[in-house]
């Protein structure tokens, strides 16, 4: 009986190891994330009704704060070969940045799979746990939590 109590006590303490989570944050001004399985819905008109059609493929999410300028993306407009060349460009701290995101072009949709948030909307981006997740704070006070573990890939951030 003493052995059983000893084993139970040992297992109880062994299973209660602390697994500390870092509460230290890193403040960044922008982040570019690649999603190998992005889903985009297109609103299609049929002969009698409308329906949402899902498309899946490689996609990107770009989240900048107001410190980023000269972004070559058009807010609230689909990115097509007519208005976008597959290269994301912008300026930050007097430096120009350029990223090839042409692998996000979806031929069926005839669009690039890209999510973009207007820089004036984001007041702060705080990242935690060695960039495994970020919390974006909007100017309106709302916030979003971004899970950045697999399958997502952080392309770059500053």
Count how many domains the chain has.
1
Residue 149 covered by a domain? yes
Tell me the residue range of the domain where 73 lies.
28-157
> What does the DSSP 8-state code read for residue 98?
E
Residue 7 covered by a domain? no
Mean pLDDT on 78-95: 93
Q: Is-above-0.85 flag for pTM?
A: no
Average pLDDT, the chain: 85
Q: If DSSP codes are grouped into helix, strand and coil, which group holds residue 43? A: strand
Strand positions, DSSP E, 30-138 = 30-45, 50-64, 68-69, 87-92, 95-100, 105-106, 111-112, 114-116, 122-128, 133-138
Give the pLDDT confidence score for residue 113 in this predicted structure.
Answer: 94
């Amino acid at each position: 009986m003493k052995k059983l109590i000893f084993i139970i006590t040992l297992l109880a303490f062994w299973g209660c190891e602390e697994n500390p989570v870092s509460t230290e944050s890193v403040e960044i001004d922008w982040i570019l994330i690649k999603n190998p399985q992005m889903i985009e819905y297109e609103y299609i008109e049929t002969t009698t009704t409308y329906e949402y059609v899902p498309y899946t493929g490689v996609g990107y999410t770009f989240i900048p704060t107001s410190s980023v300028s000269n972004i070559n993306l058009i807010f609230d407009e689909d990115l097509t070969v007519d208005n976008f060349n597959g290269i994301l460009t912008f300026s930050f701290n007097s430096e120009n940045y350029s990223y090839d995101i042409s692998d996000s072009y979806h031929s069926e949709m005839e669009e690039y799979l890209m999510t973009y948030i207007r820089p004036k909307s984001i007041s702060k981006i705080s990242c935690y746990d060695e960039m495994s997740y970020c919390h974006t704070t909007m100017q309106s006070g709302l916030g979003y939590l971004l899970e950045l573990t697999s399958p997502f890939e952080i392309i770059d951030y500053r």
